Amino acid sequence: MPSSFQTIGLLAKPSDDRLLDTLERLLTCLSSLGREVLLDQATLPDHASLRGYPRATRDELGRRSDLVIAVGGDGTLIHAAHSLAAYDKPVLGVNLGRLGFLVDISPDEMTSRIERIFKGEYRLEKRFLLRGEVMRHGDVFHSSDVFNDFVYKVRDAVRMIEFETHIDGRYLLTQRSDGMVISTPSGSTAYALSSGGPILTPGLEAVVLAPICPHTLSNRPIVVPSTSVIEIRATRHSRANSLVSFDGQCMIDLEPEDCLRITRSPRSAQLIHPADYDYFHILRAKLHWGGHP
């Protein structure tokens, strides 16, 4: 059956050289299909070819759009998922990036794919978010949700940090390393994978904890339920400063007594995929895995 996507919000990676041509073709497609379009005023350029369309704040985009199309790379879609999770609106990605695990429509096939999606030929996927709280002197100093991962790491590149990890109030281990990646299944193909972590398929209700360059090689990645309460703090013996990164978009310098507390967020991100979306095909293509011998 036809979709209910009548008002379409657009946001993008503003610095990409290919953006304007893709946007113009996308707007032509949406107009021909009779859709109302809202342009994100924070990310779309003020170009003559775009001036006939209304602009909106991110809040207005979230409230008024039935579907948001993010034009760029995975980072653009993650940024959109962050800002739109509170509105429970689905996001569709058009890939101008290089790797593209999340943005799975190319500009060349954009028009035909969108036409089929508007006819109801699509898959809706929900992906859970994690919530990280920096606890300082017993209070929440900073709180933010992530789509991909938290990176707890040393602030000074030439030192290691010593820190301990607790799961659901139970002591897990103390380690000396460059830090740890705490990842959702969505982020398991990003920094966590580079740190030796496993790939989790998107539907798994699990979280990866992957140490970064541990001093003791028996410190291996571990997978825990997504409902776990994860707490990480530096030990009193640690001689290096640490920080935490939230999806690479926000970094907080930590004080020695701070605790990073991670739980499952009540919010989730909704992604729209073409009807023939195949996660394993994407893994093979992006990671250059071999096919049949």
Active site residue 74: yes
DSSP 5-43: --EEEEEE-TT-TTHHHHHHHHHHHHHHTT-EEEEETTT
Triad 248, 251, 254: Cα angle to 5°: 140
Q: Which two tokens stand for residue 146?
A: 């992530």
Please pick, among 40, 74, 104, 247, the residue that the annotation labels catalytic.
Answer: 74
The CA distance from 149 to 129, in Å, is 9
Per-residue tokens: 269? 């991100």
Q: What are the E-state strand segments in the chain?
A: 7-12, 36-40, 55-56, 67-72, 90-95, 122-136, 139-146, 149-154, 161-167, 170-177, 179-183, 206-212, 222-225, 230-234, 242-246, 250-254, 259-274
Catalytic residues: 74
